[in-house]
A and B are shown apart, each in its own frame.
Chain A
Amino acid sequence: MELLALEDVTKRYAPDQPPAVDALTLTVEQGEILALLGPSGCGKTTTLRLIAGFEAPDSGRVVIRGETMAGGGRWVPPEGRGVAIVFQDYALFPHLTVAENVGFGLQHLGRSGRPERVRQILELVGLESFARRYPHELSGGQQQRVALARALAPAPAIILLDEPFSNLDADLRAQMREEVERILRDTGTTGIFVTHDQEEAFTLADRVGVLNQGRLEQLDTPEQIYHHPATPFVAEFVGAADFLPGLVTPYGIVTEMGVFANTEAWKTGEKVKVMLRPDDVAFVPSSFGDGMIIRRDFRGSETLYCIRLPSGQRVHSSQASSSLYPNGTRVRAEAHLIHVVTFPV
Chain B
Amino acid sequence: MPGIRRWSVLSLGLALPTAFFVLGPLGFLLWMGATQEGADFLERARDLELPRVVGQVALLATLTTAWAAALGVPLAWLTVRTDLPGRRLIHWLAPLPLAIPPYIGALVYQILLAPGGVLPNFLGVTSLPLNLYGVGGAAWVLGLFMSPYLYLLVSGALERTNPALEEVARGAGLGPRQVLRRVTLPLLRPALLAGGLVVFLYSWADFGVVSLLRVRTLTTIIYDYIQGTADWALPSALSILLTAITILVLLLQLRVLGRAGYTQIVGAVKPAPLVSLGAWRWPAFAYVGGMVTLTLLLPLGVLGYQASRLPAPAAFVLIQWPYFLNSLWTAVSGASLALLIALGVAWSEGRGRAWRVSGLLQVGYAIPGTVLGLGMAGFLHAALPGIYATSLALIVTYFVLYVTPACQSVKAALVQLHPSLEEAARSLGRGPLAAFWAVTLPLIKPGLLGGWILVFVLSMRELAATLIVRPPGFDTLPVRIWIYAMDVGPEPRAATLALILVLTIALPWAMMLSLRSRGIPPSG
Per-residue CB contact flags for chain B residues 445-474 toward chain A (1 = under 8 Å, else 0) read 000000000000000000000000000000
When the two chains form their complex, are residues B420 and A105 in contact, meaning their CB atoms are under 8 A apart? no
Interface positions, chain B 1-30, Cβ under 8 Å from A, are 1-3
Interface positions, chain A 289-315, Cβ under 8 Å from B, are none
B426 within 8 A of A: yes
B429 within 8 A of A: yes
When the two chains form their complex, are residues A87 and B420 in contact, meaning their CB atoms are under 8 A apart? yes
When the two chains form their complex, are residues B521 and A94 in contact, meaning their CB atoms are under 8 A apart? yes
Of the candidates B418, B426, B428, B521, which one forms a contact with A154 in the assembled complex, judged by CB atoms under 8 Å apart?
Answer: B428
When the two chains form their complex, are residues A85 and B2 in contact, meaning their CB atoms are under 8 A apart? no
- In the assembled complex, which residues on chain A have CB atoms less than 8 Å from the CB atom of B428? 79, 84, 104-105, 150-151, 154
A17 CA / B62 CA spacing, docked (Å): 49
- In the assembled complex, which residues on chain B have CB atoms less than 8 Å from the CB atom of A107? 429-430
B278 within 8 A of A: no
Q: How big is the A interface, by class? A: 20 to 34
Closest Cβ neighbor of A81 among chain B residues: B427
When the two chains form their complex, are residues B420 and A94 in contact, meaning their CB atoms are under 8 A apart? no
A115 within 8 A of B: no
A53 CA / B427 CA spacing, docked (Å): 8
A54 CA / B420 CA spacing, docked (Å): 10
A136 within 8 A of B: yes
Nearest-neighbour CB distance to chain B for A304, whole angstroms, equals 35
When the two chains form their complex, are residues A54 and B418 in contact, meaning their CB atoms are under 8 A apart? no
When the two chains form their complex, are residues B431 and A77 in contact, meaning their CB atoms are under 8 A apart? yes
When the two chains form their complex, are residues A55 and B1 in contact, meaning their CB atoms are under 8 A apart? yes
When the two chains form their complex, are residues B524 and A79 in contact, meaning their CB atoms are under 8 A apart? no
- Count B interface residues, CB 8 Å: 26
Nearest-neighbour CB distance to chain A for B351, whole angstroms, equals 12
Nearest-neighbour CB distance to chain A for B517, whole angstroms, equals 17
* A55-B1, A56-B1 known; A90-B524 Cβ under 8 A: yes
- In the assembled complex, which residues on chain A have CB atoms less than 8 Å from the CB atom of B426? 53-54, 77-79
Interface positions, chain B 386-441, Cβ under 8 Å from A, are 418, 420-421, 423-432, 435, 438-439
A167 within 8 A of B: yes
Interface positions, chain A 42-101, Cβ under 8 Å from B, are 52-56, 75, 77-79, 81, 83-85, 87-95
When the two chains form their complex, are residues B429 and A91 in contact, meaning their CB atoms are under 8 A apart? no
- In the assembled complex, which residues on chain B have CB atoms less than 8 Å from the CB atom of A130? none
When the two chains form their complex, are residues A91 and B523 in contact, meaning their CB atoms are under 8 A apart? yes
Closest Cβ neighbor of B443 among chain A residues: A95
When the two chains form their complex, are residues A92 and B1 in contact, meaning their CB atoms are under 8 A apart? no
When the two chains form their complex, are residues A93 and B439 in contact, meaning their CB atoms are under 8 A apart? yes
Per-residue CB contact flags for chain A residues 150-186 toward chain B (1 = under 8 Å, else 0) read 1100100000000000010000000000000000000
B279 within 8 A of A: no
Nearest-neighbour CB distance to chain A for B415, whole angstroms, equals 15
A237 CA / B524 CA spacing, docked (Å): 30
- In the assembled complex, which residues on chain A have CB atoms less than 8 Å from the CB atom of B124? none
A283 within 8 A of B: no
A134 within 8 A of B: yes
A91 CA / B421 CA spacing, docked (Å): 5
- In the assembled complex, which residues on chain A have CB atoms less than 8 Å from the CB atom of B418? 89, 91
A229 within 8 A of B: no
- In the assembled complex, which residues on chain B have CB atoms less than 8 Å from the CB atom of A143? 523-524
B273 within 8 A of A: no
A104 CA / B524 CA spacing, docked (Å): 19
B520 within 8 A of A: yes
Nearest-neighbour CB distance to chain B for A44, whole angstroms, equals 16
- In the assembled complex, which residues on chain B have CB atoms less than 8 Å from the CB atom of A52? 423, 427
B228 within 8 A of A: no
When the two chains form their complex, are residues B427 and A85 in contact, meaning their CB atoms are under 8 A apart? yes
Nearest-neighbour CB distance to chain A for B438, whole angstroms, equals 8
When the two chains form their complex, are residues B1 and A79 in contact, meaning their CB atoms are under 8 A apart? no
- In the assembled complex, which residues on chain B have CB atoms less than 8 Å from the CB atom of A87? 420, 423-424
* A95-B443, A104-B425, A105-B429 known; A136-B420 Cβ under 8 A: no
- In the assembled complex, which residues on chain A have CB atoms less than 8 Å from the CB atom of B524? 89-90, 143, 167
Closest Cβ neighbor of A150 among chain B residues: B428
Closest Cβ neighbor of B441 among chain A residues: A95
Closest Cβ neighbor of B432 among chain A residues: A77
Nearest-neighbour CB distance to chain B for A213, whole angstroms, equals 24
Closest CB pairs A-B (n = 8): A105-B428, A136-B521, A91-B420, A78-B426, A56-B1, A91-B424, A87-B420, A92-B523
